[in-house]
Amino acid sequence: MCETTPFGTLEGQDIPLIRLRKGDIQVELLPFGAAVRAIRVPDRQGRATDICLGYDRVEDYRDRDACFGGTIGRCANRIGGAAFTLDGRTFRLTANEGANQLHGGVVGFHKKLWRFTCAPGAVTFALDSPDGEEGFPGNVHAEVTYALSGDTLTVDYRAVSDADTVVNLTNHAYFNLAGHDGGPVSDHTLTVRAEAYTPAGAGNVPTGEIAPVAGTPLDLRSGAVLGDRLGDPFLAASRGYDHNYVLDRGGAPAAELWCPRTGIGLELSTSLPGMQLYTAGFLTERTGKSGAVYGPGHAVCLEPQFFPDAVNHANFPSPVLRAGAEYRQTIRYRFFVR
C-alpha cells in the first residue's frame, strides 16, 4: 500500500504526501494537482537522487507558475484564440496566456484538489470537472493512476464525459537527472524518436503544418548533448526547446534522457501521438525543495500529449472525446543507470 504523511493545509483541508516504494525507487505524489513531487532513484554510486523539481510548501503549488509535476487538463498546451468549434458550435474558453488558453485555463487540473485511493504499489486520483468549467462543455470525470513496478513508473489516464468535449491530459514533471538541485541540464543527452514536428507561429500556437526535423536542431533522432544545441539561433525565440514532436509509432520508446554526472537515465514510452519538449527556458529563478535555487534551463520536461491546438486543426490527431466514449492514454518512465 502507499504511505501517507502530512504535507500541508489548504483552506482548512489537510494535504497529505503520498509515497510509493519499489526496491531502490521512491515516488512522492500530492493530491493537489495529482502531482509528482519527487522521484528518487539510485545513481551509479547507489546514492538516492531526487530527479524532479518541486516545492516544500503546498501553497507554492497553488500560487506559483510552472506546473511542477502536475496533471495538466482539461486540455494540455495551447488552444489558439481560446476558442474552438465542435459540430458547428463555438466554445469560448478562458484565456490565460494572452489571447490563448494554456494548460486548461486559469485554474487547470494542476490547481485542483483530487480525491485519491491507494492500492498495492499504486494510487489513483480522481476529479470531476463540471460542464462549462474554463469554457469547456460536458461534465468530465477524470482519473490518473500512478503505479510503480520494478524500474518503471506507469501513469494511466482515464476520462469520460456526458457531452462531446476536448480532453488532453499529461504530466508536467521537470526532470534534472543530476538531481533536482543539479543546476543547468546542458550536459544531459537527449534522444527523441520523431521525424517531424509542428511549427508554431505567434504565441507558440501551431500553424497546422507538419514539418521534418531533418536539418534543424530539433533532430534528436540520433541523440545530442543539449548544450550543443541550446544556443542555436533556431531556438532563440523559445529560449531553448519548447516544441511539439510528432512521435514515431511502432513500439519503440519515444525518448531517452541521460545524465553523465550521475549515470541516471530515463526512457519514456507513451500511447499519445505527440510530445512537447521544454528545456525550461522561461522558468524564472525561484526557491524549491530544501532551499535549492531553480532557474532557466535547470530541467527537461517531456510531455506526451495530443498536439497543441489540435482541436483547431483537422489534420492533427483529434483530442475530441465524444459523450459516452472513454479516454485512455498511458505514459511510462523507465529508470536506469549506465
* Rounded CA separation 239/281 (Å): 5
CB 264 within 8 A of CB 258: yes
- 28, 133, 134, 303: the catalytic one is 303
The one catalytic residue in 110, 172, 298, 313 is 172
Q: Comparing C-alpha atoms, which of 85, 77, 71 is closest to residue 165?
A: 85
**For this structure, is 303 an active site residue?**
yes
DSSP assignment of 29-67 equals EETBTTEEEEEEEE-TTS-EEE-B---S-HHHHHH-SS-
For residues 181 and 286, what is the distance between their CA atoms, to the nearest angstrom?
A: 12
SS3 103: coil
Q: Which residues contact 298 (CB under 8 A, 6 or more apart)?
A: 53, 174, 176, 182, 183, 184, 185, 280, 283
Q: Which three cell numbers stand for residue 128?
A: 470531476
> CA 95 to CA 81: how far, in whole Å?
8
Whether 172 is catalytic is: yes
Active-site annotation, residues = 172, 303
